[in-house]
Amino acid sequence: MVEFKAVINDVKTGKSYQVPVAGHHANSLIGKKIGDVVDGIFVSLPGYKLTIAGGSDKDGVPMRADLPGVRRKNILLSDGIGFAAPSDGMRRRKLVRGNTISPETTQINMTISAAGSKSVEELLPKKEEKK
């Protein structure tokens, strides 16, 4: 059974929310790509539209929008997702994952592109803090 952690960013308030996604909702996200707009019903936000911004797999390897498919590949990077160059002109070969969501993906990053009628705080339950 496929299970994801969806990290939803509300750009208006600057807050992020982590929502577990499992079952048929998680299966319907497989095959979507970075930049696709999905319905918020998959992550318990009915009426919302969410844009897939990225993600990572079980080993923490980040997804890149410019690498097609679901495979992992060592590519030469100078800057951007997966590598922060410590000096100008430095390049390094790094392992990154393609732009398509697969069963190996564990975290999906999303941003809210169209808000629904209710606020996010009302729809997502707040976690209790341990004392």
CB 74 within 8 A of CB 95: yes
Query: What integer pLDDT is reported at residue 34 of this predicted model?
Result: 96
pTM: 0.88
pLDDT at residue 32 above 80?
Answer: yes
pLDDT at residue 11 above 80?
Answer: yes
pLDDT at residue 78 above 80?
Answer: yes
Nearest-angstrom CA–CA distance, 128 and 69: 38
